[in-house]
Amino acid sequence: MANITVADNKSIFRKLILKGLYVIASINYPKVQKEYRYHIRENYFCRLNQIKFFVKDYLEKKKYKTIDFQGEFDQEIRYVIPFAYWHHLNGTLAKTISCKNTSDFYFFSQNHEEKYTERVWQKSYDNYEVPNMTHSASFSYKKWAKVPFKKHYANNIFRYQKPIVIIANKYNVEWDQPPINFLSITTLDIIINLLKDKYQIIYNRPLPAQIVSDNSDILDLHEHGWLKSTHPEVILMGDLYQKHAATLKSFNQLQMQVYANCDHFISIHGGTAALASCFEGTNIILSKCGIEHHLGEYNTIIPALSGAKILHAKCEEDVLQFIQQQYV
């Protein structure tokens, strides 16, 4: 009975703290919609939770920290990997655990386990061990370090006569609805015609067999065959993988090496945009809707990933305008 009572008391105490943090979030961000303040509250709680690690992180500084994550790829890129890299720099990282084919994201981890074969989005929202857990109007960078992906993966293999521009597209179910954020074939045709004389265009839309599935089903845009027949000058990331598979550990390793040699990106809302934002340069992000808009994240956490210049396009017409202004 005593154990149950203690557990109940902890639960009540936690609920009281969360209510108090929601009040603070409401005071700090009165213009933010009520449902979004809960995300801010959750991040507040995550930061408060870090107090219990003060002695280990700042005084003892031994390798103790195991970071275990199976949630969404977007959150892993934004929050978890920079948190792990901070512990690496701090000398306190003992082990990292994630999904298969993620070792290239954790290149700095001396003990990385690829434990999971699928991602479970719900597990992104009950992980209070990471200072930033979810969307927010503000983030903590005290235990968050920019990961030097570009420097680490720079190479002479994927270089061409013209500078690279990467089109990182997606075509997924979003919020249990048909695809919302994606570049249509019509828009792709315009983009390619605008850029093909100046850049070596590399098109990247990973297929289900190439990455670990998230909470969104990947659908078929039928653009790969169209690209090969209509724009053979465009290099497909999938073709690069087939060509270099013998020397690669995974599709993710290829992405990292190609992205590292690129300074011009066009990407799509979510993990696709977050990954492209890790490699400096300029990233035009198509995001038609999402909580990121309301909380201003394209001006905070996304550019912080590498110092990249982020241009937020709210529609395909905006993408074309940014391309004309920045890339042509």
Indicate the domain borders of the chain: 2-147, 151-326
Q: Pick the residue with more confidence: 88 or 121?
A: 88
Condensed to tens digits (0 to 9), the pLDDT of residues 29-73 reads 999 999 899 999 999 999 999 999 999 999 999 999 999 999 999
Contact between 25 and 121 under an 8 Å Cβ cutoff? The reply is: no
Contact between 233 and 227 under an 8 Å Cβ cutoff? The reply is: no
Give, for 94, the enclosing helix (H) or strand (E): strand 93-99
Q: Kindly state the tokens that stand for 36.
A: 């979004």
Whether residue 76 has pLDDT greater than 80? yes
Q: Kindly state the tokens that stand for 288.
A: 């038609």
Burial letters 204-225, b for 16+ CB under 10 A, else e = bbbeeebbbebbbebeebebee
CATH of 151-326, one of 3.40.80.10, 3.40.50.2300, 3.40.50.1010, 3.40.50.2000: 3.40.50.2000
Highest mean pLDDT among 126-135, 213-222, 310-319: 310-319
The CB density around residue 138, as the number of other CB atoms within 10 Å, is: 16
Q: How many residues does the chain have?
A: 328
Q: Pick the residue with more confidence: 175 or 93?
A: 93
